């Protein structure tokens, strides 16, 4: 909170969404990042929610989504993970198979993600799913945001040789997500995902 108040983090996030409201300045941002590193400030201040999702919502989210998710993310009240990679798809995000059909006012998600960092600790996930199975592969994807406590989600840690488990497999079985928890329009997930990756 103090870092935001004095403009050391969330510098360019508008004040109405809980940020500092400064104009973009690459040099100042670089200096601050170097000083954070030197002081040993935790990397959590640049987590996926703050560094990737918040800029995406500012660019493409609805006003309701901005007001619901940005400030609690900046304040550390919500931790996010990213649901992009899938087994067998490699780095080809457009080859994803996790599906979401519409049923009784919800998306119903089935599938699997892999290399989901912080999935065990995360409160929320931003996730790519295939909502238009008959569309060209880049055009059938949608970008959903939903709680990791939603029934039907299972997280399995992937232990490395060191015994640590930074990454996880994440399984979705009939996970129900309200229709308004989509960023952008149905079938525009490829465009939204590229906007997110631009902030990685």
8-state DSSP, 23? P
The answer to whether residue 200 is catalytic is: yes
Angle at 98 between CA 97 and CA 103, to 5 degrees: 125
Find tokens 């119903």 and name the residue.
Answer: 108
Alpha-carbon distance 37 to 130, whole Å? Answer: 39
Residue 114 near residue 160, CB atoms below 8 Å: no
Single out the residue of 84, 39, 113, 54 nearest to residue 193, CA to CA: 84
Token pair in block for residue 47 = 């987590």
Marked catalytic residue, from 23, 63, 77, 200: 200
> What residues are labeled active site?
200
């Amino acid at each position: 909170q103090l870092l935001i108040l004095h403009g050391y983090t969330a510098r360019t996030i508008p004040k109405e969404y809980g940020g500092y409201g400064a104009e973009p300045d690459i040099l100042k941002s670089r200096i601050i990042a170097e000083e954070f590193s030197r002081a040993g400030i935790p990397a959590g201040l640049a987590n996926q929610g703050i560094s990737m999702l918040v800029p995406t919502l500012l660019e493409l989210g609805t006003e309701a989504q901005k007001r619901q998710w940005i400030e609690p993310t900046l304040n550390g009240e919500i931790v996010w993970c990213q649901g992009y990679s899938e087994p067998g798809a490699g780095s080809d995000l457009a080859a994803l198979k996790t599906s979401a059909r519409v049923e009784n006012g919800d998306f119903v998600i089935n599938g699997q993600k892999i290399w989901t960092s912080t999935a065990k600790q995360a409160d929320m996930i931003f996730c790519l799913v295939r909502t238009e199975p008959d569309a060209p592969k880049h055009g059938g994807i949608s970008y959903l945001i939903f709680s990791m406590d939603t029934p039907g989600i299972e997280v399995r840690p992937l232990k490395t040789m060191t015994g640590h488990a930074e990454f996880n497999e994440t399984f979705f079985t009939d996970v129900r997500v309200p229709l308004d928890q989509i960023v952008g329009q149905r079938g525009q997930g490829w465009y939204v995902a590229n906007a997110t990756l631009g902030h990685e």
